[in-house]
Structure 1
Amino acid sequence: MGAGLEQSKVVAANATDANLIHDDAAKALETINNGEVSLIVTSPPYNIGKEYERDRKMSLQEYLEWLRPIAESLYLKLSDTGSLCWQTGNFVEGGVVYPLDFFFYDIFSKLGLKLRNRIIWRFNFGLHATKRFSGRYETLLWFTKSDEYTFNLDPIRVPQLYPGKKHSNAKGEGKAGKFSGNPKGKNPADFWTFSAEDAFLNDPVWDLPNVKANHPEKTIHPCQFPHELAERCVLAFTQPGDLVLDPFLGAGTTAIAAIKAGRRVIGVDKDPRYIALAQQRLNELNSGELALRRSGLAVRAPKLGEAVATIPEEWGGNE
């Protein structure tokens, strides 16, 4: 199996800590106590015509008005030290792109949430276009409810690029000649990539492959985000035993990340197929049979000479 598809089998801490609810998000949220949730990780439908969305595509205004009361309810469910990770893309209408994170920032900030990071998640495939550049990224907005919140840096550190670098004499305060980096690794800031060199030199992104084709996590869900994205949020913004919520559960990725890390989780989805799928994947996690792409694995690039990396003759490959 290629490096980019390497997978691991993991066992859940306690899959019984997952409560999966088959219901409309707005109705299900009414059953959750206010102030009970430590972290919300979710990716709402983008209103782009996917099978799990409404019967018809809504206008941008209708779409935002549908999600506004859900956002208001989510705010109430968060604890005073809680965080919200809202992952979204773009709304396209008449060839015009509307960045949804712009509109959701307005909604959540007016509720009183504080934006801590706007994270860019880049991927290599999908979202092709012919009259504009192909979309290759989505955004994740991390909000907190107050200035007191959980942020665990050590579990999400990335390797130092220059571990042997030392402070210069100009630093003063007794630091001259001492190593300047943290031996545990560095803060990944508002991007994530699997190579320390890339993390230093490339754009501010989290570089994770999206779940397509032969990705080991691929399920029947047509718009699935990778386990690693949810895992980063769970490890950074919660403590063991905390309650995590995903009101648009889909394939169950948030639930898997939460249970795998020893947290509790509530997942909601209106489609019974996805509730069944999430439960199946949690059962496989609990039995050690769930295939997940190993966290921290570099995105695979084809090697010189591979068929997929060879220019076809009809494209002038022999010239």
Structure 2
Amino acid sequence: MNSQKKKTTLSTATFLKGDVLSVLKKLADTKCDLIVTSPPYNIGKVYERSESLTFDEYVKWLDEVIDALVDNLAEHGSICWQVGSFVKNGEVFPLDIHTYDSFKRRGMQLRNRIIWRFNFGLHSKKRFSGRYETILWFTKSDKYRFNLDPVRVPQLYPGKRHSKKKGKEAGKPSGNPLGKNPSDFWEFSAEEYFRSDPIWEIPNVKANHPEKTIHPCQFPVELAERCILALTKPGDTVLDPFMGVGTTAIAAIKHHRSAVGIDKETGFLKIARQRVKQLSSGKLKTRASGKAVLTPRSAERVAQIPDEWKVVQEAGA
């Protein structure tokens, strides 16, 4: 568990209440540098119950939102579109696939399709349990920002050196001393696995997560933080049109970027403001980036196979 230990001078955060399309239209003249967001999935969450959309209506609405987002993006800007799947009657509709064309038709260029894997979630009975979502990173042009150094991961083979074929480089370390370029596969795992494979550990926000609030689909600060560090510079403006409880804003202002958040739920925006205030005073609890996930020791009771299971397992052997 990590928190800001001393009061810090932070950038500004602006929260706007209202319908996302209406608010984005009013902001059209204000171009942001990065958009990090996760839209609602139309699966009946508390913030979706005011209106029921068919899947076609929902995809059409997302297309309108994407159109407005592109209008609100600077020429050098990026969009990180974090989505899972719409599920109906057991059938899965992956939202990255169903929204890709909306970005492409507007001239956006896909730079990475990032896989975010996590170990906890709802257990399925008639299909494999879903344990990953995707982040589509689009840029508006070839002039986009990309800062690799702030998000590098440890070298897997730091002692590896160039071969004799490299001429003047022969015998010198072949890797970058600051670390290597992370892959497009971001996973949460135990520390040992992190050391053996250069992945990004990012757990989803569940009951015991230090960042957990009342929001049912909250994503972790670290997820937004890494996008912001890689794709913006201090002083830039980061927009989240589905702000929820302020995760993107927290990640932005921690690193001296300004944040603009939109949400229609008064309760969520109230929590977002409280969390930003806690960040400013050094009282906000967040999970440390790259922290190993707690793994129970084999001697702990929670790691022991129940006697009732042993009977079933032996019978099925």
Shift of 1:228: 0.2
Equivalent residue of 1:218, what SS?
coil
Distance 1:226 1:232, change over 3 A: same
- TM (norm. structure 1) is 0.92
Asked if 1:118 is matched to 2:113, the reply is yes
Structure 2 counterpart of 1:244: 238
Structure 1: gaps (5+ residues):
1-5
Partner residue in 2 for 1:211: 205
Query: Structure 1 residue aligned with 2:64, among 69, 77, 92?
Result: 69
After superposition, residues 255-274 of structure 1 pair within 5 angstroms as 255-274=249-268
Q: CA deviation at 1:302?
A: 1.8
Deviation of 1:168 after TM superposition, in Å, equals 1.4
Q: Distance in 2 between matches of 1:93 and 1:11?
A: 47
Instruction: Provide the C-alpha distance between the structure 2 equivalents of 1:12 and 1:128, rounded to a whole number of angstroms.
Output: 41
Between the aligned partners of 1:199 and 1:147, the Cα distance in structure 2 is 32
Secondary structure at the residue paired with 1:187?
coil
- Map Cα deviations across residues 218-254 of structure 1 (whole Å, 9 max, x no partner): 0010110000000001100000000000000011100
Match of 1:178 in 2: 172
Give the percent of matched residue pairs that are identical in Structure 1 and Structure 2.
56
The CA deviation string for residues 110-152 of structure 1, in whole angstroms up to 9 with x for no partner, is 1110000000111111131000000000000000000111101
Q: Work out whether residues 13 and 262 of structure 1, in 8 Å CA contact, stay in contact via their aligned partners in 2.
A: no
Q: Offset at 1:207?
A: 3.7
Q: Say if 2:294 is the partner of 1:300.
A: yes
Structure 2 letter corresponding to 1:80: E
Give yes or no for contact 2:78–2:137 (8 Å, CA) kept in 1: yes
Deviation at 1:206, TM superposition (A): 4.3
Q: Where does 1:77-116 land on structure 2 (aligned, <5 Å)?
A: 77-116=72-111
- SS of the residue 2:167 aligns to: coil
| Aligned counterpart, 1:158 | 153
Code of the aligned partner of 1:280: Q
CA–CA distance in structure 1, aligned partners of residues 11 and 172 of structure 2? 48
C-alpha distance in 2 between matches for 1:169 and 1:110: 48
**Distance of aligned partners of 1:61 and 1:271 in 2 relative to their CA distance in 1, 3 Å threshold:** same
C-alpha distance 35-275 of structure 1, shift in aligned 2 (>3 A): closer
Aligned-partner residue type, residue 172 of structure 2: K
Cα distance, 1:273 vs structure 2: 0.2
Q: Do 2:215 and 2:245's aligned partners in 1 also have CA atoms closer than 8 Å?
A: yes
Q: Name the amino acid aligned to 2:68.
A: S
Which deviates further from its counterpart, 307-316 or 273-282?
307-316
RMSD between superposed Cα atoms in Å: 2.1
> How far, CA to CA, are the matches of 2:115 and 2:231 in structure 1?
18
Work out whether 1:230 is the aligned partner of 2:227: no
Tell me the distance in 1 between the aligned counterparts of 2:7 and 2:80.
22
Note if contact 1:166-1:179 (Cα within 8 Å) is conserved in structure 2: yes
Aligned residues of 1:239 and 1:263 also touching (Cα < 8 A): yes
Question: What residue identity is the alignment partner of 1:163?
Answer: P
Within the candidate set 136, 143, 156, 1:141 is matched to 136
CA–CA distance in 2 between the matches of 1:260 and 1:45? Answer: 25
Measured in 2, the distance between the counterparts of 1:34 and 1:146 equals 19
SS state at 2:48 partner: coil
State the distance in 2 between where 1:264 and 1:12 align. Answer: 18
Report the count of equivalent residues. 312
- 1 CA distance for matches of 2:264 and 2:126? 35
**How far apart, CA to CA, are the structure 1 residues paired with 2:162 and 2:194?**
21
Distance of aligned partners of 1:28 and 1:35 in 2 relative to their CA distance in 1, 3 Å threshold: closer
- Contact 1:154-1:184 at 8 Å conserved across structures: yes
Deviation at 1:176, TM superposition (A): 1.4
Structure-2 change in CA distance of 1:206 and 1:99 (3 Å): farther
**2:25 is the alignment partner of 1:8:** no
1:306 CA drift (Å): 1.6
User: SS at the partner of 2:126?
Assistant: coil
Provide Cα deviations, 1:177-232, integer angstroms capped at 9, x if missing partner. Answer: 11001000000021235779746866x97441110011100001011000000000
Structure 2 unaligned segments of length 5 or more: list them: none
Worse-matched range after superposition: 9-18 or 131-140: 9-18
- Give the residue type in structure 2 aligned to 1:91: F
Contact 1:192 1:199 in 2 (8 A): no
What residue is the counterpart of 2:12 in the other structure?
17
2:156 counterpart SS class = coil
Distance 1:225 1:12 in 2: 25
